[in-house]
Amino acid sequence: MRLLFVDDAPEMRALAQRAFDPTHDTVRVAASCAEARVALRDELPEVLILDVALADGNGVVLCQELRGRDIDVPILLLTAHGDVGQRVAGLDAGADDFLTKPFAMAELRARIRALARRGPWTRPSLLRVGDVALDASARRAWRGGDEVPVTRREWAVLDLLLARRGDLVRREHILEAAWGEDTASARASLDTILSRLRRKLGSDVVETVRGQGHAIRLDP
Amino acid sequence: MPSVSTPEAAAPPLHPTPMIRRVAWAAALAAALGGTISAMVSGLAAAGAITAAEDAALLRATRDFADEIHEELLEAPEDDSPDERAHFARHHGPRTLQNLLVHEAEQIDLPGIQATVRTPHKHDTSPSRSLPPPVGSCADNASDPRFPRRECAVAFDAEGAVLVLSVIQPHRPHRPFWFAMAILSGTLSGVLVGGWASFVGARWVVRPIDALRERLDGIHTAMPSVEALDPPLPEVELEELRLAVVSLVARLGAALDTARTFASHAAHALRTPLTSLSAEIDLWAQDVERPPPPQRLRQQVDTLIALVHRLLALGTAEADLASTGVAIDLGELVMDTVAQRSATQRARLDVSTQEVTVRGDEHLLAIMLANGLDNALKFSTGSVHVHVHTDHTHARVDVVDHGPGLDPADAAHVFEPFFRSRTARSSNTPGHGIGLALIRHVADAHGGHADLERLDDDTTRLRITLPCWRPAPIPSGIHTNPETARAT
């Protein structure tokens, strides 16, 4: 994996370089927004890890700037528990996931792997599927004009389906990307979530090809 | 759950009485006293006035009577008509003073009228031997108790004879009784009317105090704001009290802010070194060429990380997360939180959940639930029941444990930040007094609330109540209706 780790604490940058296996992963680091821009100009990483509090700016603002420049690499924001507003702003700015400091290394690796598997894709601001409207960046959904609640797990599956824009997504791929494992309990969870999505958004929104996978039915 | 006995608990119980009652009693007593005095004064005055008026009328009648008798005595019998003379002789007999008196008395319509002329040495016409009242005045005559009389005397001739006119006044002896009744009714009505009026009046007087108390109730202990005490009060005394409280609340709020900011800053400063420390231990554990890191080191760092997370969550400014947050399945979040506990802890947890969606911040709700479970596991030994349920308006998470129980004296304090019960401290139960404060803080920020309730001696229930997910206002610029969307 090619990673870019942006954090203004030197010990965090040193750690990021030691925490990944150098034979498989390349970790570049940047200490500021300016350094991050230079690093991104050279080469786009597979996953960008961005601390929100940087010496020369805000990670959320940088995230918004990158999305504005059509840079669609997955972005993981590092925030604090107290920064509720920052998490909401981060989603709006196009970040894909959050991790709150302090975190365990295993958790960081798992989140990065999940984002790398999903690949580059910027959440569309508003998508329409029949009478359903989906705002994936604000994490809100409407059916026939009424808002319906879609939870984080449900969005994780929806995101994967939306990223393929109506093409079939294999079950194993969804399980790997959203659960990190293909186990009996993960498969049961996926089935629960798919049935909930059909209940909330309509039975014809998610199509299932038996034994192969699932696809979202997008308007032409 | 924490339980202690505080010094306040040993104080004798106080039975407060409403101020309204004190004021009403005092005013009722004052009204009763006033009623008695006014009834006495007005009764005496009325009795005196009636007696004086009756006496004046009787005295005037007596004088007229004496003049009439004088005229009759001066007249010759021939002055009367023969019919009158015959009538007098038939009814009264000879024309004596006594018969004249009887005859003239018959002409006056007064009850039991008797006229007598009294003198010690000359023609005394009275059958009674008692002394007449002084000339020109009236007095009672109680010689016959069945017929109480009032008699007035006027001078009759130059030799000192007096003419006494006496009438029966049957109601006169009852006057003291009616007088007493008047005083009694005055007192009673004073008590009743005065008591009622003063109760109503006291309530009216106390109403601004009640209003001020309600405003004080509106002050949030976790986030004291003086705005709850606005606007100014029209009563001078209460306005002074309000201003004093405003000043106190403002100082308390500032002190709390300082403490919270300090805790939050300290926690923020600890985030990076703690992540780094935790990662160092992880890397050490992965290094096959070195002996594994001590288990205690990992545990201590994890405890420190949990504490920092709690302090950061507690430092979150109160936000309206129930309308700005994302959809979260509370049942699922509870199951995730349970899954993160250790195997020994999971063995003690008895969980029943259902799908119930709330709106909020998932990180804060997760740390709130983790604290709820950890708190129950820490303060009890047996199983802990976790129950997620809903009435479709509110989502509830009940965490029921069987431990030492909640001391009623502690109930008011357990949700205060850094409050540690005495048993928790004396039994060396680990903790910093943040858990429950954090639970309430997060619940409040989501438009809900948290309550700790003692179900019986050794059973305590933590109930977290959150509003169920409701549609939020649609942001401008988003057309969710396909019809309108197609049209634009």
Contact A133 B485 (CB under 8 A): yes
Q: Which residue of A has its CA nearest to B324?
A: A88
Q: Mind giving me the DSSP string for B271-327?
A: HHHHHHHHHHHHHHHH-TTSPPPPHHHHHHHHHHHHHHHHHHHHTSPP--HHHHSEE
Q: Are residues B93 and B64 in the same domain?
A: yes
SS3 B166: strand
CB-based contact, A130 to chain B, within 8 Å: yes
Q: Are residues A108 and A31 in the same domain?
A: yes
CATH number reported for the structural domain that contains residue B431 in this entry: 3.30.565.10
Contact A80 B280 (CB under 8 A): no
Interface A–B counts its CB contacts (< 8 A) at 113
Number of other CB atoms surrounding residue B26 within 10 Å = 12
Domain count across chain B: 3
What is the Cα–Cα distance from B300 to B369, expressed in whole angstroms? 21
**Residue B430 is assigned to a structural domain of this protein:** yes
B52-93 confidence digits (pLDDT tens): 898 898 899 999 988 888 888 887 777 778 888 888 888 888
Q: What's the mean pLDDT in B99-117? A: 86
Q: Are residues B304 and B322 in the same domain?
A: no
Contact B264 A82 (CB under 8 A): yes
Give the per-residue pLDDT at A27.
Answer: 92
Give the per-residue pLDDT at A150.
Answer: 92
B400-448 confidence digits (pLDDT tens): 998 776 777 777 677 776 666 666 666 666 666 777 888 988 898 888 9
Q: What's the mean pLDDT in B458-486? A: 71
Residue whose tokens read 């004009």? A145
Q: Are residues B146 and B231 in the same domain?
A: no
Residue B458: is its pLDDT beyond 90? no
What is the Cα–Cα distance from B227 to B238, expressed in whole angstroms? 17
Q: Which residues does A115 contact at the CB level (< 8 Å), separation at least 6? A: A47, A74, A76, A96, A97
Q: With contacts defined as CB-CB under 8 Å, which chain A residues touch B469?
A: 149
SS3 B394: strand
The enclosing H or E element of B237 equals helix B236-286
Q: Are residues B167 and B222 in the same domain?
A: no
**Boundary of a domain, candidates A86, A118, A150:** A118
Residue B6: is its pLDDT beyond 60? no
Number of other CB atoms surrounding residue A41 within 10 Å = 8
Q: Are residues B305 and B424 in the same domain?
A: no
SS3 B443: helix
**What mean pLDDT is reported for chain A?**
85
Q: Are residues B72 and B133 in the same domain?
A: yes
Residue B481: is its pLDDT beyond 60? no
Residue B25: is its pLDDT beyond 50? yes
Q: Are residues B97 and B165 in the same domain?
A: yes
Give the per-residue pLDDT at B486.
Answer: 40
CB-based contact, B280 to chain A, within 8 Å: yes
Q: Are residues A61 and A113 in the same domain?
A: yes
Domain count across chain A: 2
Q: Which residues does A78 contact at the CB level (< 8 Å), separation at least 6? A: A7, A49, A50, A51, A52, A59, A98, A99, A100, A101, A103
Q: Are residues B161 and B283 in the same domain?
A: no
Q: Are residues A97 and A141 in the same domain?
A: no
Q: What's the mean pLDDT in B6-15? A: 50
CATH number reported for the structural domain that contains residue A60 in this entry: 3.40.50.2300
CB-based contact, A88 to chain B, within 8 Å: yes
DSSP state of A178: I
Q: Are residues A8 and A91 in the same domain?
A: yes
Contact B478 A126 (CB under 8 A): yes
Q: Mind giving me the DSSP string for A126-155?
A: -EEETTEEEETTTTEEEETTEEE--BHHHH
Domain span at residue A15 reads 2-118
Contact B268 A102 (CB under 8 A): no
Residue B259: is its pLDDT beyond 90? no
Q: Are residues B310 and B324 in the same domain?
A: no
Q: Are residues A145 and A63 in the same domain?
A: no
Q: Are residues B290 and B306 in the same domain?
A: yes
Domain span at residue B288 reads 218-315
Q: With contacts defined as CB-CB under 8 Å, which chain B residues touch A152?
A: 326, 328, 362
Q: With contacts defined as CB-CB under 8 Å, which chain A residues touch B329?
A: 151, 153
CB-based contact, A150 to chain B, within 8 Å: yes
What is the Cα–Cα distance from B452 to B1, expressed in whole angstroms? 9
Q: Please state which of the ranges B51-65, B120-134, B214-228, B257-271 shows the lowest mean pLDDT.
A: B120-134
Confidence at B148, pLDDT banded by 50, 70, 90:
confident
Q: Are residues A195 and A134 in the same domain?
A: yes
Q: What's the mean pLDDT in A142-158? A: 88
What is the Cα–Cα distance from B477 to B276, expressed in whole angstroms? 44
What is the Cα–Cα distance from A3 to A28, expressed in whole angstroms? 6
Looking at per-residue pLDDT, the higher value among B325 and B357 belongs to B357
Q: Are residues B308 and B437 in the same domain?
A: no
**Boundary of a domain, candidates A57, A89, A118:** A118
Q: Which residues does B92 contact at the CB level (< 8 Å), separation at least 6? A: B99, B100, B102, B103
CB-based contact, A105 to chain B, within 8 Å: yes
444-483 of B, contacting A, C-beta below 8 A: 469, 471-472, 474-475, 478-482
Q: Which of B279, B317, B321 sits opposite A19 (nearest CB)?
A: B279
Peptide bond preceding B16: is omega within 30 degrees of 0, i.e. cis? no
A177-191 confidence digits (pLDDT tens): 888 778 898 889 899
CB-based contact, A186 to chain B, within 8 Å: no
Residue A83: is its pLDDT beyond 70? no
Contact B332 A153 (CB under 8 A): yes
Contact A3, A20 (CB under 8 A): yes
Confidence at A75, pLDDT banded by 50, 70, 90:
very high
Q: Are residues A112 and A142 in the same domain?
A: no
Contact A11, A4 (CB under 8 A): no
Name residue A78's beta-bridge partners: A51, A99
**What mean pLDDT is reported for chain B?**
81
ipTM for the predicted complex comes to 0.76
**Boundary of a domain, candidates A118, A148, A168:** A118
Q: Please state which of the ranges A210-214, B13-17, B206-210 shows the lowest mean pLDDT.
A: B13-17
Q: With contacts defined as CB-CB under 8 Å, which chain B residues touch A140?
A: 326, 472
Q: Are residues A50 and A152 in the same domain?
A: no
Give the per-residue pLDDT at B120.
Answer: 59
B383-399 confidence digits (pLDDT tens): 999 999 999 899 999 99
**Boundary of a domain, candidates B315, B348, B377:** B315
Q: Please state which of the ranges A27-41, A85-99, B151-165, B391-405 shows the lowest mean pLDDT.
A: A85-99
Give the per-residue pLDDT at B231.
Answer: 84
Q: Are residues B348 and B273 in the same domain?
A: no
